Amino acid sequence: MTKLKVSIFGLSLLAISFILYSCNKDDDSTTVTPTTGAVSILSTVQTKYKSMVTISTSGSSITLKSNGTPDHVSPYWDATNTLYEAQMSGSTVNPGKIGTQNYAMTIPTNPTEASTKEATTLGAIGMALNGVPIYNDREGGNVPVDAGVLGSFDRAGAHPGPGNTYHYHCTGDFTGNDNANLIGFLRDGFPIYARKDNDGSYPANLDTNGGHVGTTADFSTPIYHYHASNTAYLGSRFYILKAGSYHGTKGTFTQ
């Protein structure tokens, strides 16, 4: 009987030791993915958007309003404007100009991943920090930007569309390019960055929509964020800002 008690006691100690070892092993090796939606973007939005963008909140939403005009030089300003500059050598200008608009983008304060990813469409898919709309890689007729359209971009990777709606398709000299700059936020509330991660490297683990989860200079808690493409578009100096679908559920963008 005594030997049996000792054996049972020994087995109990062995089981407890195994459980403790297993728990410790799991703690060391498991990477916990943060809950999408646990990160508020409000502070970063309030800090990073420029003064020409008006910010308001209502419940769980943020509304950004702007007139859509850039704070940098472009050949699409009137020649009498102090921000006018000649178009780059070898490029052209389309018939449009930079016009004043009345934009309002409403996005969630805590963006969440959508169960079904919705494709981006023509028109504004986000707003840069200076209030200029961000467009995807498509043009009228929902066809990819071609060499002719590419040749109409200014140094900002932008041009005006119908109604003098100036907008960005690509990275450029004033928003973010070969760096880790925050460029703005898309309509689903997730931030979009230039081509590099915060450590100076080019991210190698982007999903099919051009994003991944991680920390940034603006978010110490990991958050899903987009990056501009790191492939020169049609061999040009430009890199597409966004192609594919939204990671989250898009809010509204009106003008």
For 78-118, the pLDDT digits (tens) are 999 999 999 999 999 999 999 999 999 999 999 999 999 99
**Residue 12 DSSP class:** H
- Rounded to the nearest integer, the mean pLDDT of the chain is 88
What pLDDT band is residue 140 in, cutting at 50, 70 and 90?
confident
Question: Are the C-beta atoms of 109 and 115 separated by less than 8 Å?
Answer: no
Whether the per-residue pLDDT at 20 is higher than 80: the answer is no
Dihedral angle sign, alpha carbons of residues 221, 226, 232, 238: negative
In sequence order, the β-bridge partners of residue 192 are: 184, 226
Give the residue extent of every domain in the chain: 1-30, 34-255
Question: Which amino acid, 210?
Answer: G
The rounded distance, in Å, linking the Cα atoms of 113 and 146 is 31
Predicted pLDDT of residue 141 = 85
Length of the chain: 255
Residue 106: which H helix or E strand, with range? strand 103-108
What pLDDT band is residue 133 in, cutting at 50, 70 and 90?
very high
Predicted pLDDT of residue 37 = 63
The rounded distance, in Å, linking the Cα atoms of 7 and 77 is 88
Whether the per-residue pLDDT at 212 is higher than 70: the answer is yes
SS3 of residue 55 by DSSP: strand
Q: 105 or 1: which carries more pLDDT confidence?
A: 105
Phi, psi dihedral angles at 28 (to 5 degrees) = -75, -30
Pairing of strands 143-144, 138-139: antiparallel
For 156-180, the pLDDT digits (tens) are 999 999 999 999 999 999 999 999 9
